[in-house]
Amino acid sequence: MALSLEHLSIALNGRTLIAPFSLVIQPGEIVTLMGPSGSGKSSLLSLIAGELELPFDATGEVDLDSKPLGGLAPEARNIGRLFQDDLLFPHLTAGQNLLFGMPRGPKREREAAMQAALQDAGLSGFAERAPHTLSGGERSRVALMRALLARPAAMLLDEPFNKLDASLRASLRGFVFAHLAARAIPCLLVTHDRADAPPGSRILTIGESGEIRDA
Amino acid sequence: MRQGLGLGPLILLWALPLLGSLGLALVPIGDGAAWAALFDHPQLRHGIALSLWSGTAATAAALICTLIIAAGLYRSRLWNRLQAFSAAGLALPHLAFAIGFALLIAPGGLLARLLAGGESPPQWVTAQDPLGLSLIVALTLKEIPFLLSLVWSGLARGDFAAGLDGQWRAARSLGHGPGSIWLRVVQPQVLRRLFWPILIVWVYGTTVVDMALVIGPTQPPTFAVVIWHDLNDADAASNARGAAGAIFLTLVLAGLIALSITAWRLALKLRQAFQTSGPSRLPVPRTAAAFVGAVTVCLYAVTFGLLLLMSFAPRWPYPLLWPEHLSAVAWSGLLANGSPLMLSLVLAAASAGAALVAVVLWFETQPERRDRWLLGLALAALGLPQVLVAAGQYRLFLDIDFTGTLAGLFLAHLTPVLAYVAVVLAGPYRALDPRYAAVARSLRAGPFHVWWRVKAPLLRGALAMAGAVGFSVSMVQFVPAQLIAAGRFATLPMEALTLSSGGNRALTAAYALALTLPPLLAFTMAGLAGRPRWR
């Protein structure tokens, strides 16, 4: 279940944002991509997720588990995402947010999986809570569990720790990386803070002319 | 001192008459004979059933059509044009639309000529059909632009729109297709804000008089029309029965609203199961949205196009598809008897102007926390059945000798006009950053100078739009105006309604259009005034 990017490049109005590059992320591996804001990191994630639209101009191919994703709608790609904001649906409870992306099946099994995920996240008893009554860290954990319960084959993390305060960041990083490792799925993390990268992982940077190389 | 002066016009001209009217509208509660007469009324049951049926069916149909259009167009390129379309639909007077639509579907109308043909009109029961179907269609078409503009502006609000955009992407990454996201994420959050507007639409539909007189059933009519005939009767006992009927209709609606709140909660519970049942690749209903949208636009276009053609067709015998000859004789007839047109224009300009001044004075002198009194009273004026408010106003103006006077007519128009102006203006006026005025004052500008040179230009678009809304609302006032005018004055809607039951189709069409053009012009001008100075 590897995520492989082949000769990807992105241009905007003739200007190169990301120069052609290739990358294979193995199951359970987290690759970190670093670059200043406006360098095209988020556009790259949108391209992989299938959401990059005009006026962006992209080439290359994304394969997941050796299957090309080109032309597939975002919802058909089986790629999970975490964003800078938790983006919990405000009209649903924490538990309903977790059920939202969970594949269809018997109600009892889905409920049990939801409760187990809450327990995993240290949020037992939070199922009926409205998102706005949760703290920032709690919301982030629900957002991660929601993404994982959709059983993605790969994950894209778009500066998910960016808006948390320093004390929360460290603990949430540990929480996220532990869960991703346990599920053995490939993961691309985009950030501008080197401290966000898991220790010992591969780190790439975006250069001034859009070239991507190992840091 | 300044605070008191600022309140004066609004209280004297609007709040006191309105409160007095509402109070007097409730007086017949104690009139036993009136209630006895009401419950003996042979048209009571059938009329109530017709009112509830037509209002409910029209509200449901309008809501469903609105949601189909919105679901199909959300996040498409057409979405941003939608506001202009619904604004155009809103600007067209519903009374004129009802008149045109009735002329279109009547047995001798264009539709019959196209479909039935023959030498003489078919035996159709289309306009004024006993089931109220034509009234339902007309009401539905009238409410679609209103609900659509509410959905659109609800979704366009800054931080809410940004939040939805993120939620949209998150939902797709969780395996949901666009149609599923609309149903499970966007629509629930929009509908939550639409509960009260939907109720207002429903109350309007179940209690409407002018449209029902043109296109609604007649034998028996809807209950609001039954009340209306009683209120217009010369006999005092009939008046009392009508006033009791207005209270009864209001009570029935209030009871149903309590019921509908319970039903709404239940529906929310059921919806939760649907929302969390898991990802689905449901596409958006593009074809259905295109169909519903096209039918809506076409019916509006055909209706008003037909009105225009008919107004220039003094002779257009059945079964010709095109008039025998075109002439402006109806229009010259309308202008020759120009006093209803002039009176309506003057009343509209005066009431819109007075409402703007009074409301701006309120905002300038009153703290924002008091706005809920103003807006609460405004919503009462707009949300309560028109026959109830008008019945009370009629009583009040009789007591103070205002019936049949220009002053009374002006106040009767001001009641809904000021309410609309306050509702439209409150948001933008209070949202203006107070620091602009503070900066101007620190530059030694006096209060009037600050308003004229800083606030008014910044609020130009909102003030112009509020003025246009007030003007248009005044142009189409029928129920209160007819009662207060007491036969001494005739405004355009009164004339148009009288004509619509007669045989002069060209003149009827000309009056319907005379009712349409000034509001359209006002909205166009307001739209131009509201354009940003720099892009």
Query: What whole-number distance in Å separates Cα of residue B107 and Cα of residue B122?
Result: 6
Rounded to the nearest integer, the mean pLDDT of chain A is 90
Comparing CA positions, the residue from B135, B144, B315, B111 lying closest to residue B207 is B135
Residue A167: is it exposed, middle or buried by C-beta count within 10 angstroms (0-12/13-18/19+)?
exposed
Tens-digit pLDDT profile for residues B46-91: 999 999 999 999 999 999 999 999 999 998 888 888 888 888 888 8
Going B16 to B22 to B25 to B31, the CA torsion angle's sign is negative
In A, which residues are within 8 Å of B279 by CB distance? 75, 100-104, 150
Does residue A169 belong to the interface with chain B, where contact is any CB pair within 8 Å? Answer: no
Q: What pLDDT was estimated at residue B3?
A: 64
Query: What whole-number distance in Å separates Cα of residue B34 and Cα of residue B235?
Result: 12
Residue B15, C-beta contacts closer than 8 angstroms, at least 6 positions apart: B377
The enclosing H or E element of A22 equals: strand A15-25
The one-letter amino acid code at B249 reads L
In B, which residues are within 8 Å of A47 by CB distance? none
**pTM, full prediction:** 0.90
Backbone angles phi, psi at B371, to 5 degrees: -55, -30
Tens-digit pLDDT profile for residues B167-202: 999 999 999 999 999 999 999 999 888 888 899 999
- Within 10 Å of residue B76's Cβ, how many Cβ atoms? 14
Chain B residue closest in CA terms to A94: B276
Query: What whole-number distance in Å separates Cα of residue B89 and Cα of residue B83?
Result: 10
Query: Are the Cβ atoms of B175 and A110 closer than 8 angstroms?
Result: no
Q: What pLDDT was estimated at residue A56?
A: 87
Query: Are the Cβ atoms of B172 and A87 closer than 8 angstroms?
Result: no
Q: What pLDDT was estimated at residue B87?
A: 83
Q: What pLDDT was estimated at residue B397?
A: 95
DSSP state of A84: S
Comparing CA positions, the residue from B392, B383, B370, B461 lying closest to residue B416 is B383
Query: Are the Cβ atoms of B167 and A87 closer than 8 angstroms?
Result: yes
Tens-digit pLDDT profile for residues B109-149: 888 888 888 888 888 888 888 999 999 999 999 999 999 99
DSSP state of A39: S
The answer to whether the CB of B139 falls within 8 A of the CB of B62 is yes
What would the mean pLDDT of B239-263 be, rounded to a whole number?
94
Q: What pLDDT was estimated at residue B494?
A: 95
Rounded to the nearest integer, the mean pLDDT of chain B is 91
What would the mean pLDDT of A136-149 be, rounded to a whole number?
93
Going A192 to A197 to A200 to A202, the CA torsion angle's sign is negative
- Flag whether pLDDT at B6 surpasses 80: no
Q: A–B: how many Cβ contacts below 8 A?
A: 89
Radius of gyration of chain B (CA): 24
Q: What pLDDT was estimated at residue B535?
A: 53
Token reading at A115: 């409760």
Query: Are the Cβ atoms of A91 and B175 closer than 8 angstroms?
Result: no
The answer to whether the CB of B148 falls within 8 A of the CB of B292 is no
- Distance of residue A156 Cα from the nearest chain B Cα, in angstroms: 10
- Listed as own residue / partner, the contacts of A69-77 with beta carbons closer than 8 Å and 24 or more positions apart are A73/B172, A73/B177, A73/B281, A74/A49, A74/A50, A74/B169, A74/B172, A74/B173, A75/B171, A75/B172, A75/B173, A75/B174, A75/B175, A75/B176, A75/B177, A75/B279, A75/B281, A76/A50, A76/B281, A77/A49, A77/A50
Comparing CA positions, the residue from B14, B203, B216, B28 lying closest to residue B125 is B216
DSSP state of A106: -
Does residue B157 belong to the interface with chain A, where contact is any CB pair within 8 Å? Answer: no
Q: What angle do CA A117, A123, A127 make, to 5 degrees?
A: 75
The answer to whether the CB of A62 falls within 8 A of the CB of A38 is no
What would the mean pLDDT of A26-54 be, rounded to a whole number?
87
The answer to whether the CB of B471 falls within 8 A of the CB of B352 is yes
C-alpha dist (Å) from residue B416 to B304, B413, B472, B477: 26, 6, 11, 9
- Flag whether pLDDT at B1 surpasses 60: no
Query: What whole-number distance in Å separates Cα of residue B329 and Cα of residue B515?
Result: 18
Which residues 278-297 of B have a C-beta within 8 angstroms of A? Answer: 278-281
Q: What pLDDT was estimated at residue B2?
A: 59
Residue with tokens 């006009």: B417
Residue B128 backbone zone (phi > 0: left; psi -120 to 50: alpha; other: beta): left
ipTM of the complex in this document: 0.90
Model confidence band, residue B317 (pLDDT cutoffs 50, 70, 90):
confident
